[in-house]
Chain A
Amino acid sequence: MAALKTVLYLLVYPGLIFLFVYSTFAEWFDRKVYARLQNRMGPTHTGRFGLLQPIADFVKLLSKEDVVPDRADKTLFSVLPVVGLAVVITAGLLLPVWYFEGSATAMVSFSGDIIILLYLLSLPTLILFLAAWSSTNLFSTIGGTRVLTMLFGYEVPLFMSVLSPAILANSWRLSEIALFYQHRPLLILPNLLGFVVALICVQAKLERTPFDIPHAETEIVGGTFTEYSGKKLGFFRLMTDIEMVVSSGLLATVFLGGFPGGLWLGLLQFVGKTLFIIFLLSAMRAMTSRIRVDQVVHFAWRWLAPLAVLQLLIVILIKGLLL
């Protein structure tokens, strides 16, 4: 029975199949919201309400010709998309979504898993940089350096803002943090500032407007992905989608009290909360213009980092005075 559950966990929920299906749904939702905010229709053609459009796009990319540039580092170039996909799916397993027998433990839950999750979510950035560097295209190289430059901006504020609720909950374990806020819902409020900071940082991590600088189409063509085509590009796109789901799952766990209620209610909570965060991300994407890479670093250290420090201070004060 336990073995079956493990297999189910790895392959069905919240493993491969669920992440694949849900991330394509999340992409559809993101595209639809973005389109409606821009007075467009968004996907309508494939499936009901265009629901199958992201899957159709993925299958189409899988069947396309796969070109590897002559001067590229061929092994690295081909391996990176798969590694990136594996990394984000592994990160997805760490989310506390399925509680066994009512005990507050996820399948892969241990003290310090929040750090592992943050680390696994940082890896795709490095993978994108390596992918850009190994394709040796001029536009890719510029995109790759932009990826790294941005990393120096948003990574520290993201860590600080995500870890401050953990400090308040006095635990480095995602399921315990979620449980803490389920029992004391009012304590979610002091973390709102951190939530906003983390939301902006996640937007930067996912390289969406206003932070879509590494693949700014009008400036550097495809940027990081200029040389990628076919399957490899498909994997990278899927990676970004799953990364979006996992990072919004992380924010929902840490800031919005996780997903209690067993399998079905928990699933419902997971979908509701992550969609809420994805909606905020889409709205941010629709309402802003792309900024320059130096402006990102400037903005991150001028505003985001101090706000994250302020959040830490608030958390420490509350912890000292109230708890």
Chain B
Amino acid sequence: MKFQIPIGPQHPALKEPISLRMTVEGEVIRDADIRLGYNHRGVEKLAEQKNWIQNIYLMERICGICSHSHSTCYVQGVEKLMEIEPPRRGIFIRYLVSELERVHSHLLWLGVAAHEAGFDSFFMYTWRDREVVMDLLEMISGNRVHYAINTIGGVRRDLDEGQIKKIRDGIKILRERSEFYLKIGSTEPTFVGRLAGVGYLSKADAIALCAVGPTTRASGVAIDVRKDDPHAFYDEVPFDLITADTCDVLGRTVVRIKEVLESYKICEYIVDNLPAGDIAVKAPKKAKPNEVVSRYEAPRGENIHYIKANGTDKPERVKVRAPTLGNYAATVVMLRNGFIADIPLIFAAIDPCICCAERVVELVDARSGEESVVRFSDLRALAAKRRPVRSVKGNVPWPL
């Protein structure tokens, strides 16, 4: 008997709204249908109305977990447009925050994956230790989520000796804990039994469907912007590209934990070789008419920003390709012929950040299923018609 089960838009396994419609036969998934557009925020349109500096903070708010990825990707592009080069100390601090963010994002993912697999103790432990890196980030930037440390031409805050010592101590604790998690994640029998062989994505499929990030690397494809197209200082940092050839959720878990260990190496390199000097250069207000594509290896995969300038202090167009968007096509393949029990695991294994990837809203009539296109002015007129009293009240002039 075939029937459809709706996962989402509201479902305990999903932290953000997305609709996955599964056609299942007993416990086996036969087909999957992903529907997006529940949380479109119009960030790209908004970016055209704000100036270069304001946009840094807007871009940071695309994502709550990899906020620094978006702002760095944007700032990299704008610096190229304005033809300025940030000082080396600024670059080092910027990518120190990047790597710490990768650590916090991967530890968060590990906890989420453990929770989806029903391993709540692992979840509690990883999130407890994630606090260490969150505290480091707060110490460096002053914030836990939206660090706001980037500025065009460098960073906004410097590091002192005391902070560097604290970073070293924090990384020492984190490395010890991450090695323990690597041991648990790859040997705990119930956890491994749950992850191994689940969500198979072959190497050929991963390439054909343009998957990105740890999802692809777990299928044995060695792609990483930090290695393939080293931005900033990544060509001089010694670190390894982590891949796995199991092509399943277990591989994705192992790849992420090992990547965290590589990030500690990079962080230690940064604090050991932190050059002296300024942290930022002064940036011009306007950029010459030009266009640029900026690539950045976010924790979830390759993040691409396309920025077009028209000679004013505002961008003509900013296009964001968040890494999650690149992984959706592969997710459908991974879900097919899996079990219902594995849906949350497989979906969580791409580390989805749904709101980052929303680009459009589709209007579908709930009863007939018909799709329609409505202009924004029509929507406003419709709203005014439905709430005539309130809009009139809002326009009443002050009587005195």
A40 part of interface (Cβ distance < 8 Å): yes
The distance in angstroms between the C-alpha atoms of A291 and B343, with both chains bound, is 13
At the interface with chain A, which of B65-73, B121-129, B132-140, B149-157?
A: B121-129
Report, as a range, how many residues of chain B touch the other chain: 20 to 34
C-alpha spacing A43/B188, complex, angstroms: 28
Across the interface, do A289 and B190 meet the contact criterion of CB distance under 8 Å? Answer: yes
- Does residue B344 face the partner (Cβ distance < 8 Å to A)? yes
Flag whether B120 is at the interface (Cβ < 8 A). Answer: yes
Alpha-carbon separation in the docked complex, A253 to B382 (Å)? 71
In the complex, the answer to whether A293 meets B341 with C-beta atoms within 8 Å is yes
Identify whether the interface residues of B are mostly helix, strand, loop, or mixed. helix
**Chain A, residue nearest B344 (CB):** A218
Q: How far is the CA of A313 from the CA of B121 in the complex (A)?
A: 37
Residues B118 and A218 in contact, CB atoms below 8 Å apart: yes
Tell me, rounded to whole Å, the shortest Cβ–Cβ distance linking A290 to chain B: 3
**Whole-angstrom distance between the alpha carbons of A286 and B191 in the complex?**
12
Binds A, one of B5-13, B170-178, B218-226: B5-13
Q: Nearest CB to that of A37 among chain B residues?
A: B121
B125 touches A219 (CB 8 A): no
Q: Would you call A138 and B5 a contact (CB within 8 A)? A: yes
How many A-B contacts if CB must be within 8 Å? 74
Q: Does A38 contact B (CB under 8 A)?
A: yes
Asked if A221 lies at the interface with its beta carbon under 8 angstroms from chain B, I say: yes
- Known pairs A210-B190, A291-B190, A291-B194; A219 contacts B122 (CB<8 A): no
Q: How far is the CA of A217 from the CA of B7 in the complex (A)?
A: 12
Interface positions of B from 6 to 44, Cβ below 8 Å from A = 11-13, 27
Nearest CB in chain B: distance from A162 CB, A? 24
Q: What 0/1 pattern do residues 46 to 90 of B give for CB contact below 8 A with A?
A: 000000000000000000000000000000000000000000000
Asked if B191 contacts A219 (CB within 8 A), the reply is no
- Say whether A217 contacts B194, CB under 8 Å: no
Given contacts A38-B120, A289-B117, contact A219 B194 (CB under 8 A): no
Known: A288-B119, A289-B194. 15 other contacts (CB 8 A): A38-B120, A38-B121, A38-B125, A138-B3, A142-B5, A209-B118, A210-B190, A218-B12, A218-B116, A286-B121, A289-B118, A289-B190, A290-B194, A291-B190, A292-B339
A-B contact pairs, 25 of them (CB 8 A): A38-B120, A38-B121, A38-B124, A40-B124, A209-B119, A210-B118, A216-B118, A218-B118, A218-B344, A219-B13, A219-B340, A219-B343, A219-B344, A221-B12, A287-B121, A288-B191, A289-B117, A289-B118, A289-B119, A289-B194, A290-B117, A291-B190, A292-B341, A293-B341, A295-B193
B144 at the interface (CB under 8 A from A): no
- Check: A300 CB closer than 8 A to any chain B CB: no
Tell me whether A213 is interfacial, beta carbon within 8 Å: yes
Alpha-carbon distance between A210 and B190 when the two chains are bound, in angstroms: 8
- How far is B340's CA from A294's CA once the two chains are assembled, in angstroms? 12
Residue B100 at the chain A interface, CB threshold 8 Å:
no
Determine which of A212, A218, A286, A293 lies in contact with B27 in the assembled complex, contact meaning CB atoms within 8 Å. A293
Contact partner of A290 (CB less than 8 A), chosen from B3, B12, B13, B119, is: B119
Indicate whether A63 reaches chain B with its CB closer than 8 angstroms: no
Q: Does B114 contact A (CB under 8 A)?
A: yes
Q: Is the CB of A291 within 8 A of B344?
A: no
Q: Cβ of B190 and Cβ of A288 under 8 Å apart?
A: yes
Tell yes or no: A16 within 8 A of B by CB: no
Residue of A nearest to B11 (CB): A221
Residues of B within 8 A of A294 (CB): 27, 339
Q: Are B193 and A39 in contact (CB under 8 A)?
A: no
Interface residues of B (CB under 8 A from A): 3, 5, 11-13, 27, 114-122, 124-125, 128, 188, 190-191, 193-194, 339-344
> Is A220 interfacial (CB 8 A cutoff)?
yes
Residues of B within 8 A of A289 (CB): 114, 117-119, 122, 188, 190-191, 194
Contacts of A218 in B (CB 8 A): 12-13, 115-116, 118, 344
Residues in A268-305 with C-beta less than 8 Å from chain B: 286-295
Q: How far is the CB of A210 from chain B (nearest CB, A)?
A: 5
Measured in the bound complex, the distance between the Cα atoms of B188 and A209 in whole Å is 14
Give the residues in chain B near A288, CB-CB below 8 Å.
119, 188, 190-191
8 Å CB interface, A203-260 against B: 209-210, 212-213, 216-221
B337 to chain A, nearest CB (A): 14
B12 touches A217 (CB 8 A): yes
Please state if A142 and B340 are interface contacts (CB–CB under 8 Å).
Answer: yes
Residue of B nearest to A38 (CB): B124
Q: CA separation between A217 and B117, bound complex, in Å?
A: 10
The interface residues of chain A lying within 8 Å CB-to-CB of B190 are 210, 288-291
Contact partner of A39 (CB less than 8 A), chosen from B125, B191, B342, B343, is B125
Set B117, B125, B188, B340: member contacting A220, Cβ < 8 A: B340
